A and B are shown apart, each in its own frame.
Chain A
Amino acid sequence: MTLWLTPALLAGLLTTFAAAYTWLRHRYPADTVTLVDTVDALLPQTQCAQCQYPGCRPYAEAIVHDGAALNLCPPGGAEVHQQLIRVMGNEHAGHAPSVIPNVVAVIDENECIGCALCLPPCPVDAIIGAPTKMHTVLTNDCTGCELCVPACPVDCISLEPVAAPVQQRRRKRRAKRNAASVAAPVATPVAATSTAPSSAATARACINCGQCNPVCPVALPAQTLLQQIQQQRLSDAVSSGLMNCIDCGRCDQACPSDIPMAEIFSNAQWQQQQQLDDAQTRQRFKTRFEAHNERLAAAELAAARRREERLARNRETGRWQ
């Protein structure tokens, strides 16, 4: 009897759990999509940072938590603005009806040198062209995110209103060139990668997608931490909770750029620990030195006092007179 009872029992138990799990999934439908996730899903994920936030996820968080305006996303355009209003309601809609410029990038074919440097920054692959050949922009795909502008070494890319008259191009481009030459050095993302550890051979630059934030089991702002560490702002990183990192490595898995975040974090933790240790050692030596000096001074003072007393006693008894 027990021969069939055992497998039956196991199968029964497992089936029960499977059924319970299925029912639970049905009753409480799939993974709890938070409001941030919903808003993030509406954003175009170009990570162009034109909204003044570091990326799409940070902007979504700002919309949900800090009530940021909804009309800050140029690549999304009016369409995304409308969708965001539908999700968040009108009270968040932003100050102006719409500050979103309806522009596309335009390459001045006469000045393009065919360097192909503008191809990698484009998040939507709207620029076509090969090295030493002239490039052009697919107007329908371009979101006007401006990411290609600082990449161009000869400033031949300009942003134009959709279907602008050709005559206006040259004048606008010149104005844009002046602005871009001021802004260009800030926008180069080279500094971010240079401080990464040497083992990170496959790592690319942080694209500010914020995918490392929601996976952190101890709720650390992983992306902010990474930036603070890469900018050598260790004390800021510590106040953002660096020392709470448990090195679980879930941010590594989430990172689409293969940045070894856990390794960077633990190195920074070690560095911080080292600084703390040094400071403590210095403090200990200082305390000991000061205590030593105080003891010497006290001993000297006591000796002087004893001598005074002895002299006074002797004067009273008239021993030295």
Chain B
Amino acid sequence: MTELALLLIGALLVNNFVLAQFLGLCPFMGITKGYDTALATGIATTFVLALAAVSSYLLYHGILVPLGLEYLRIILFIVVIAGVVQLVKYYLHATSPVLHQLLGIYLPLITSNCAVLGVALLAVNQNLNLLQTLVFAIGAAGGFTGVMVLFGAMRETMDHDDIPVPFRGTPIALISAGLMSLAFMGFQGLAG
């Protein structure tokens, strides 16, 4: 139990995917213009990450290891993640319009995100079991969502700040992302 909690906190804060491992930077800089879109992307990412981690775990330990084809994992993970997300997207579209409207366009955008593949690969590399993989994915997604929302809210506030003209827009966003990353360094050593 403690181990799981450590794993969760580790993925959530210490090894935060965006600020410590620098994965998933494209949505981090791209879709955080406002709080709402950042939150929607975060929720969609949580969904996709959990799905991707579990399906790639099953693929790896169910098929690749018995056949001795571990070296194929990157290609096959991409195929499986893309396929599963498309299936789920279609299923949502057909059965739950509300959920589809909420996650809608973000699902396919996130599918090709490095954070998703990163979680699947890292989970396999660390030899986690199924439950641990799930916890790891949810932790990573929670960290991602948290950082997205924080940064989205921050950029919304910054839009109204009196920033020197040359720094407005992307430059100040990059600088604040760097400062946030420095701040997250403070979590190093928190959970091993």
**In the complex the two chains form, what is the Cα distance from A218 to B44 in whole Å?**
14
Contact B105 A25 (CB under 8 A): no
Contact B34 A20 (CB under 8 A): no
Q: Is A248 an interface residue (CB 8 A)?
A: yes
Q: Which parts of A140-180 form the interface with B (CB within 8 Å)?
A: none
Beyond A28-B90, A218-B36, A273-B159: 17 further Cβ-contacts under 8 Å? A5-B69, A9-B67, A13-B83, A14-B79, A14-B83, A17-B84, A20-B83, A20-B87, A21-B86, A24-B87, A31-B93, A32-B93, A34-B97, A217-B105, A243-B34, A244-B37, A248-B105
Q: Is B68 an interface residue (CB 8 A)?
A: yes
Contact B86 A219 (CB under 8 A): no
Q: Is B155 an interface residue (CB 8 A)?
A: no
Q: Is A198 an interface residue (CB 8 A)?
A: no
Question: Given A2-B68, A21-B87, A28-B91, is A10 in contact with B37 using a C-beta cutoff of 8 Å?
Answer: no
- The chain A residue with its CB closest to the CB of B68 is A2
Contact A32 B94 (CB under 8 A): yes
Contact A2 B69 (CB under 8 A): yes
Q: Which parts of A242-262 form the interface with B (CB within 8 Å)?
A: 243-244, 246, 248, 250
- The chain B residue with its CB closest to the CB of A277 is B160
**In the complex the two chains form, what is the Cα distance from A13 to B94 in whole Å?**
23
Instruction: Please report A residues at the B interface, Cβ cutoff 8 Å.
Output: 2, 5-6, 9-10, 13-14, 16-17, 20-21, 24-25, 28, 31-32, 34, 217-219, 243-244, 246, 248, 250, 273, 276-277, 280-281
Secondary structure of the B contact surface, majority rule: helix
**In the complex the two chains form, what is the Cα distance from A32 to B90 in whole Å?**
10
Contact B79 A13 (CB under 8 A): yes
Contacts of B87 in A (CB 8 A): 17, 20-21, 24
A-B contact pairs, 8 of them (CB 8 A): A2-B67, A6-B69, A9-B63, A10-B75, A10-B79, A217-B106, A246-B31, A277-B160
Contacts of A20 in B (CB 8 A): 83, 87
Contacts of A16 in B (CB 8 A): 83
**In the complex the two chains form, what is the Cα distance from A151 to B19 in whole Å?**
62
Least CB distance from B165 to A in Å reads 12
Contact B93 A13 (CB under 8 A): no
Q: Which parts of B24-80 form the interface with A (CB within 8 Å)?
A: 31, 33-34, 36-37, 63, 67-69, 72, 75-76, 79-80
Contacts of A21 in B (CB 8 A): 86-87, 90
Interface string of B96-112 (1 = CB under 8 A from A): 01000100111000000
Q: Chain B interface: which size bin?
A: 20 to 34
**In the complex the two chains form, what is the Cα distance from A318 to B160 in whole Å?**
61
Contacts of B162 in A (CB 8 A): 281
Secondary structure of the A contact surface, majority rule: helix
- The chain A residue with its CB closest to the CB of B97 is A32
Contact A244 B160 (CB under 8 A): no
Least CB distance from B159 to A in Å reads 7
Q: Is B95 an interface residue (CB 8 A)?
A: yes
**In the complex the two chains form, what is the Cα distance from A217 to B67 in whole Å?**
43
**In the complex the two chains form, what is the Cα distance from A6 to B71 in whole Å?**
10
Least CB distance from A215 to B in Å reads 10
Question: Given A6-B69, A9-B69, is A246 in contact with B33 using a C-beta cutoff of 8 Å?
Answer: yes
- The chain B residue with its CB closest to the CB of A217 is B105
Contact B80 A13 (CB under 8 A): yes
- The chain B residue with its CB closest to the CB of A28 is B94
**In the complex the two chains form, what is the Cα distance from A9 to B67 in whole Å?**
10
Least CB distance from A218 to B in Å reads 7
- The chain A residue with its CB closest to the CB of B31 is A246
Contacts of B67 in A (CB 8 A): 2, 5, 9
Contact A218 B94 (CB under 8 A): no
Contacts of A9 in B (CB 8 A): 63, 67, 69, 72, 76
Contacts of A2 in B (CB 8 A): 67-69
The list of the 10 closest CB pairs from A to B, nearest first, reads: A28-B94, A17-B83, A217-B105, A217-B104, A13-B79, A24-B90, A32-B94, A246-B37, A20-B87, A219-B101
